[in-house]
Amino acid sequence: MAARQCIVGGNWKMNTNRASASALAKDVGEACSPSANGVAVVVFPPFPYLMEVAETLVDTGIEVGAQDVFAEPEGAFTGEVSVSMLQDCGCSWVLCGHSERRHVMGEPDDLVNRKVLAALAGGLKVILCVGETQAQREAGQTDAINDAQLRAGLNTVDATGIENIVIAYEPVWAIGTGLTATPEDAQSAHAAIRATLADVFSESAADGVRIQYGGSMKPGNAAELLSQPDIDGGLIGGAALKAADFAQIVAAGA
């Protein structure tokens, strides 16, 4: 099995202001760089603060990503932001298909796929988020939903492209709710995700893809989740807004 580097992302969502985003970035830089110990760390601030956060984190080894991107390079797309704009602001990563984009903004699979392809073509690394709702879990559809979201989101991604993608498994019912998948349930979903990746690409490609868990991961449950064989990191929302909590999760992945 490939040794996969643990990757922890901090998704700040629509939180912070200019001053608190800079302060959080500074604190994360100080708290996480020493504890990272081989763990890759990426933060995803709101668009307006990307540049300042990227400047604050320069030389810390912590990378910066955006929470979303549009699929077109430029033009009449009011309110949207392109891949090259994100790169101009210091981003090397982007989230695609976060559950809040899918379920609050109504983003469909084919748009998520266009964003993934545009990001890869422009040289951004992608965290592609998938996950089932509560009703889908209760109906026993967890693996089928993840499989369908993966196949659609990764449509026409090639062997080089998948090397620049991380998958985040984020059960919708666990995001921001305080509810967490048990380590066993999360591991089972991650193993099924890896099987889909093996089917779409190859066993060896799937073996190299990092799959993060997201959904109320916090200092108290991170170590157990991250010790599962197919859980290669975390995508953290609420607990990423406190540098000390975020640093403890990063340390748990080291």
Backbone angles phi, psi at 93, to 5 degrees: -130, 160
Which of residues 201 and 210 has its CB atom nearest to ligand PGA in the complex?
210
By CB under 6 A, residue 220 contacts ligand PGA: no
By CB under 6 A, residue 236 contacts ligand PGA: yes
- What is the nearest approach in angstroms of ligand PGA to the Cβ of residue 186? 13
Which of residues 3 and 14 has its CB atom nearest to ligand PGA in the complex?
14
Q: Please give the residue whose beta carbon sits closest to ligand PGA in the complex.
A: 237
By CB under 6 A, residue 176 contacts ligand PGA: yes
Which 9-38 positions form the footprint of ligand PGA (CB under 6 A)?
Answer: 11
By CB under 6 A, residue 253 contacts ligand PGA: no
Cα–chain center distance at 148: 18
By CB under 6 A, residue 214 contacts ligand PGA: yes
By CB under 6 A, residue 171 contacts ligand PGA: no
100, 132, 170, 190: the active-site residue: 170
- What is the nearest approach in angstroms of ligand PGA to the Cβ of residue 199? 26
By CB under 6 A, residue 170 contacts ligand PGA: yes
Q: Residue from 237, 247, 249, 250 that binds ligand PGA (CB under 6 A)? A: 237
By CB under 6 A, residue 217 contacts ligand PGA: yes
- Known active-site residue 98: yes
Task: Select the span of 57-65, 149-157, 195-203, 233-241 touching ligand PGA (CB under 6 A).
Answer: 233-241
- Name the amino acid, one letter, at 41: V
By CB under 6 A, residue 215 contacts ligand PGA: yes
CB contact burial 23-52 (16+ within 10 A = b; e otherwise): ebbebbbebbbebbeebbbbbbbbbebbeb
By CB under 6 A, residue 113 contacts ligand PGA: no
d(CA 239, CA 233): 14
Q: Residue from 175, 206, 226, 243 that binds ligand PGA (CB under 6 A)? A: 175
- Known active-site residue 190: no
Task: Select the span of 72-80, 102-110, 137-145, 231-239 touching ligand PGA (CB under 6 A).
Answer: 231-239
Q: Are 158 and 112 in contact (CB under 8 A)?
A: no
Based on C-alpha coordinates, what's the Rg of the chain? 17
- Give me the active site residues, please: 98, 170
Residues near ligand PGA (CB under 6 A): 11, 170, 175-176, 214-217, 235-239
